[in-house]
């Protein structure tokens, strides 16, 4: 079956611009996660959705970062006024339920801020 | 969640067993050991998890010491496609939520 998909796969933007990254989780998965991986860094948690609500936003690095999820499915991560340090791979994962142990990851969106 | 320690890199010959160690000396009784791997330019992939008994699936085996302070992930017959960064994660079971990734072990399988 279809896995987690993310779009775009690559995004180049100029400093100061806003970007939107999209995640389509596996159908029926109620939990959705956003992570990011900077060059040479490990994977860093950003935010977690259970249905359309976000019980854990502790990883969002600043108020320029926001995310929403609609219809318990698609999620959008928005970065406003992008900075060069926002350059990273943004990964989305989903799991069948919030307590499900296995998270299934998408291929990521590579964001480059010039 | 307990902290884990892994060697930064390891080599393994193709066809041989790859044994990846992980130390988690502060693990609590209700914490499980999880392994994920990340092949270059891909998202992480779940491999296996366990509490205290050894576990085996189609991908790997997980051996947890009796005191649960360390574990070993075993890939019985490593192939070139197993070259990846392997992450050992300790977290409370049946609670879901975020995964906290360390630096992992970069495994290079060589022909």
A74-111 tens-digit pLDDT: 999 999 999 999 999 999 999 988 777 789 999 999 99
A102 to B43: CB separation less than 8 angstroms, yes or no: no
List the pLDDT tens digit at each of the 111 positions of chain B: 668 999 999 999 999 999 999 999 999 988 999 999 999 989 999 999 999 989 999 999 999 999 999 999 999 999 999 999 999 999 887 677 888 899 999 999 999
Is A100 an interface residue toward B (CB < 8 Å)? yes
The SS3 call for residue B12 is strand
Shortest alpha-carbon distance between residue A78 and chain B (Å): 20
Six-digit token string for B24: 């988690």
**Strand boundaries in B24-69, DSSP class E:** 31-38, 45-50, 55-56, 61-64
Which one of A45, A99, A105 has the shortest CB-CB distance to B44? A105
DSSP string spanning chain A?
A: ----EEE-SEEEE-TT--EEEEEEPPTT--EEEEEEE-TT--EEEEEEEETTEEEE-TT--STTEEEEE-TTS-EEEEE-S--GGG-EEEEEEEESSTT-S--EE---EEEEE-
């Amino acid at each position: 079956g279809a896995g987690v998909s993310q779009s775009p796969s690559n995004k180049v933007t100029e400093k100061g611009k806003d970007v939107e990254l999209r995640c389509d989780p596996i159908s029926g998965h109620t939990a959705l996660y956003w992570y990011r991986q900077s060059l040479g860094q490990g994977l860093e948690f950003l935010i977690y959705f259970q249905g359309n609500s976000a019980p854990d936003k502790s990883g969002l690095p600043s108020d320029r970062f926001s995310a929403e999820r609609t219809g318990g499915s698609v999620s959008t991560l928005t970065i406003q006024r992008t900075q060069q340090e926002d350059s990273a791979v943004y990964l989305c994962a989903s799991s069948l339920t919030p307590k499900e142990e296995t998270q299934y990851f998408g291929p990521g969106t590579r964001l480059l801020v010039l | 969640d307990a902290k884990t320690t892994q060697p930064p890199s390891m080599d393994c010959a193709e066809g041989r067993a790859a044994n990846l160690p992980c130390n988690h000396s502060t693990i609590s009784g209700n914490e499980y050991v999880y392994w994920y791997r990340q092949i270059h330019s891909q998202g992480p992939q779940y491999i296996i998890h366990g509490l205290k008994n050894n576990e085996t699936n189609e991908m790997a085996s997980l051996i947890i010491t009796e005191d649960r302070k360390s574990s070993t992930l075993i890939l019985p017959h490593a192939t070139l496609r197993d070259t990846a960064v392997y992450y050992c994660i300790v977290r409370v079971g049946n609670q879901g939520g975020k995964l906290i990734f360390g630096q992992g072990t970069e495994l290079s399988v060589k022909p």
